[in-house]
Structure 1
Amino acid sequence: MAEVLVLAGPGKARATCALLTLARRIGTPAVVLGGSPDQASTATLGRFGATTIYAVTAPEVDEHPVAARVEMLVHLARRRPSPAAILIASGRDGLEIAGRVAVRLDSGILSDVTGVTAGRDGPVAVQSVHGGAYLVESSVVRGVPILAVRTEHVAVTPAPATPAINPIRVPFPDRVRAVRLLARGRTRPRELSTAAVIVAGGRGVGSRAGFELVRQLAAALDGVPAGSHAAAELGWCPPEMQVDQVGTIVHPSLYLTLGISGSLRHRAGMRGAGTIVAIDSDVSAPIFQLSDLGAVGDVHRVVPELLAEIERRRAQPMIGTTDDSEA
């Protein structure tokens, strides 16, 4: 079977294992890794079916992560025989890498992929479209299929293998080194697309200062803060925190909204959440039609009470615990 290249994302072990799970269905999984694999990561990748780990160690991998990974995939894809497909985890960086690789290889690209099977003429991808309203099957008809996968939809299953580590040298062109990382030193926000708990704020929080309630509640729940398109357009949160069909589409276990009315575009970005809790002052807000639990009220009064309750419960001793001296 032909190789299927799987791009390993830094700090995204679960997403990489999901890609390996899909890759096994259409070919022989081979991981493309920036850096040298340690014993633990090699064992994890092997547990989910990686037969080869292409390790690229170079300064460009860390200094220019997106551009370097584009070059890594293009370099490997141009070798003979060509891979059966290239699988990349969706997300802001993943979609950029997938698009640039597709252009460089003159190949077709499929995004919002949630599943894949082997077809007679190549991989057949299942795509989620219109905010999950439909599932369609699609195939790439030219070049190496590039699949941007929404890994949160993939059930990860092991298939143990013993991967061979293959260090490779990629001739990075000057255009990669010419990129300057203006954001170096800044803290990268936690990945929205894979967060288990998300607290999102909208126009109803009232101001940039009011949006601080979103961050406080997210921190209290060990979650990730997010915002609606209105909050992003008003400058209350950065664009990378925007949840909707043109921003980040999320599927957390818990999605809690503060002052978000629930426009169609926002609901398309979060309707796959396990449990949806909404707080808004408008009893007729569309978000309540989708929520599992709703509270009608001013977020500036409800959220402080909620934060106090969380703090109170955390201060209570756990039921069933005993003092070590009495054990």
Structure 2
Amino acid sequence: MSILVIAEHDNSSLKSATLNVVAAAQQIGGDVTVLVAGADCGAAAEQASQVVGVNKVVVADNAVYANQLAENVSVLVAELGKDYTHILAPSTSNGKNALPRAAALLDVAQISDIITVESADTFKRPIYAGNVVATVQSTDAIKVITVRGTAFDPAAAEGGSATVETVANATDAGTSKFVSEELAKSDRPELTSAGIVISGGRGMQNGENFELLYTVADKLGAAVGASRAAVDAGFVPNDMQVGQTGKIVAPDLYVAVGISGAIQHLAGMKDSKVIVAINKDEDAPIFQVADYGLVADLFDALPELSAAL
């Protein structure tokens, strides 16, 4: 068996999600090749070659892949993927955008968001917001799969010695173009890779009150998230959303503040190792999954927590 892993990167460095996908690929078995598609992405390719378990790194370094537009990357993946039995990508915005297109071009089904590898053709994936786990078996010659990173421990980032090969493939699909991007800058850890996450919900009442969370987060070295209710209310940007339609996180410590615990939110954080809930409603569903619960007004509890830290 041969497995092609689509690397998640920013042209200069490899994203941690790639390490989780490599770990999933190792469980499937076979030779693992990592595809790094970008522009001036040599540094990311070099990092990929150091990942333990990777046999080869394929680099597509061309301006058409500079912003990793799904329309262009999917064509590349379909072209290279014909020689592999499995194609894997992280279940991130990029992965979920490009891989279904590649699967369509290859005329095979996609298996989304796997959390367990049962065998080379059988996988488990959550459905119904994680309330049911489906076992899916594929008879396609090429298995196209997105991987939920939080379900797999990452492969070691250093210690490998994969060969690096350059491919000349460069196709501009011509159906989209990159215009601009506005990136939110923060000194806090990235939400999906942070060891500690503190999230606020509708109970925060407004965006200004999130400053209470930021103060605690900075003392803990934590990332800050939010429920969909808080995002929909305009309290914070949607890139902070944790949940079924947001980001999936599984930190060592998750602190839910003013979050009732809707099933869609739980789907995005219930795999956290320790869950702490602060809510003045003692019947809030969040307490059913919390390891520690504090029934209190968050506007009293957060300042006290901050002072104690």
Q: TM-score, normalised by structure 1?
A: 0.81
Does 2:39 align with 1:41?
A: no
Larger radius of gyration: 1
CA distance in 2, matches of 1:39, 1:63: 16
CA distance in 2, matches of 1:135, 1:32: 30
CA contact (8 A) 1:37 1:55 kept: no
CA contact (8 A) 1:23 1:29 kept: yes
| Paired position in structure 2 for 1:58 | 62
CA contact (8 A) 1:109 1:140 kept: no
Query: Kindly tell me: are residues 64 and 136 of structure 1, through their superposed partners in 2, closer, same or farther at Cα, counting changes over 3 Å?
Result: closer
- How far 1:280 moved relative to its partner? 1.4
Matched AA of 1:28: D
Query: What secondary structure sits across from 1:97 in the alignment?
Result: helix
Matched AA of 1:29: V
Does 2:100 align with 1:94?
A: no
Query: What secondary structure sits across from 2:42 in the alignment?
Result: coil
| Paired position in structure 1 for 2:277 | 278
CA contact (8 A) 1:282 1:296 kept: yes
- How far 1:209 moved relative to its partner? 1.3
Query: What secondary structure sits across from 1:308 in the alignment?
Result: helix
| Paired position in structure 2 for 1:140 | 138
Write out per-residue CA displacement over residues 45-89 of structure 1, whole angstroms, 9 at most, x where no aligned residue: 2xx2222110111223333454443333123124xxx31011111
Question: Quick one: percent identity of the two aligned structures?
Answer: 26
Query: Kindly tell me: are residues 63 and 281 of structure 1, through their superposed partners in 2, closer, same or farther at Cα, counting changes over 3 Å?
Result: same
| Paired position in structure 1 for 2:32 | 29
| Paired position in structure 1 for 2:149 | 151
CA distance in 1, matches of 2:252, 2:18: 20
**Matched positions, count:** 300
CA contact (8 A) 1:106 1:143 kept: no
CA contact (8 A) 1:218 1:225 kept: yes
Query: What secondary structure sits across from 2:294 in the alignment?
Result: strand
Q: TM-score, normalised by structure 2?
A: 0.85
> What's the Cα RMSD here?
2.7
Matched AA of 1:55: V
Write out per-residue CA displacement over residues 125-155 of structure 1, whole angstroms, 9 at most, x where no aligned residue: 2223344444332123446221110122113
Query: Kindly tell me: are residues 266 and 185 of structure 1, through their superposed partners in 2, closer, same or farther at Cα, counting changes over 3 Å?
Result: closer
| Paired position in structure 1 for 2:208 | 209
Query: What secondary structure sits across from 2:66 in the alignment?
Result: helix
Query: What secondary structure sits across from 1:209 in the alignment?
Result: helix
CA contact (8 A) 2:14 2:47 kept: no
CA distance in 1, matches of 2:66, 2:87: 21
